[in-house]
Amino acid sequence: MHLCGSGTGVGAGGQTRAYDNLGNEYSGDECALATSGPGTGDVFARIETSPVEATAVFRQVNESATTLPLIVVVGSAENVRLKVSFKNVPINR
């Protein structure tokens, strides 16, 4: 795992997964949570208390899939592991 995206925040990598409405599983390619703000010191407070920007890229998603019923982002900031789930995310192509 590594810090990715612009600014500071939670970087996510190899353990990030998405599941489509057809039952397929995908690995996250480029993922980041809360990548703006004054620093990682308050990143967890920002994620818990207010909407934050999240970016995830999943490649080769089945063309027939319309939603991702579950996305699990696993990342770290300041040596603390974090697991965040998103549900019922529409697919934008």
Each residue's pLDDT tens digit, 32-57: 666 555 554 555 555 566 676 777 78
Query: Is residue 65, in this structure, part of any structural domain at all?
Result: yes
Could you tell me the pTM of the whole model?
0.69
**Quick one: tokens of 92?**
């934008």
Each residue's pLDDT tens digit, 52-80: 677 778 889 999 999 999 988 877 666 77
| Cβ contacts of 63 within 8 Å, gap of 6 or more | none
What domain range is 86 assigned to? 10-90
> Of the candidates 50, 1, 64, 56, which has an alpha carbon nearest to the alpha carbon of residue 26?
56
Query: Is residue 62, in this structure, part of any structural domain at all?
Result: yes
Query: Is residue 3, in this structure, part of any structural domain at all?
Result: no
- The total number of structural domains in the chain stands at 1
Query: Is residue 1, in this structure, part of any structural domain at all?
Result: no
Query: Is residue 4, in this structure, part of any structural domain at all?
Result: no
Cβ–Cβ < 8 Å for 62, 22: yes
